[in-house]
Amino acid sequence: MTDRVTIAVADGIADVRLNRADKMNALDPAMFDGIVAAIDRLAGMDAVRVAVLSGEGRAFCAGLDMASMTGGSGLDLVDRDWGVANKAQQVSWGWRTLPMPVIAAVHGVAFGGGFQIMSGADIRIAAPATRFAIRESHWGLVPDMAGVALWRTLARDDVLRELTYTGREFDGAEAARLGFVTRVADDPLGEAFALARAIAARNPHATRGAKRLYNLAADGDAAAVLEAETVEQLAVIRKPNQVEQVRANMEKRAAVFED
Q: Tens of pLDDT along 239-252? A: 999 999 999 999 99
Q: Give 74's pLDDT tier (boundaries 50, 70, 90).
A: low
* Average pLDDT value for the chain: 95
Residue 70 has pLDDT above 70, yes or no: no
CA distances from 48 to 54, 140, 172, 211, 213 (A): 16, 40, 29, 14, 19
Q: What is the pLDDT of residues 14-56, one digit of tens each?
A: 999 999 999 999 999 999 999 999 999 999 999 999 999 999 9
At 197-224, the pLDDT tens digits run 999 999 999 999 999 999 999 899 999 9
Name 14's bridge partners: 9, 51
pLDDT at position 1, please? 46
Backbone φ and ψ for 53, nearest 5 degrees, come out as -105, 130
Residues 6+ apart with CB under 8 A from 128: 171, 172, 173, 184, 186
Report the percentage of the chain scoring pLDDT > 70: 97
Q: Is 82 helix (H, G, I), strand (E, B) or coil?
A: strand
Q: What is the pLDDT of residue 19?
A: 97
Over 60: is that where the pLDDT of 72 sits? no
Q: Is residue 119 packed enough to be buried (19+ CB in 10 Å), middle (13-18) or exposed (0-12)?
A: buried
pLDDT at residue 158, as a whole number: 98
Q: Which class would CATH give 5-199? A: alpha beta
pLDDT class of 77 with cuts at 50, 70, 90:
confident
How far apart CA 54 and CA 222 sit, in angstroms, is: 35
Closest CA to 210 of 191, 225, 221, 193: 225
Q: Where are the domains of the chain?
A: 5-199, 203-251
What's at 56, amino acid-wise?
E
Write the CATH number of the domain with boundaries 203-251: 1.10.12.10
What does the pLDDT average to over 75-93? 90
Give the mean pLDDT of 88-106.
98
Averaged pLDDT, 167-178: 98
Answer yes or no: is pLDDT of 75 > 90.
no
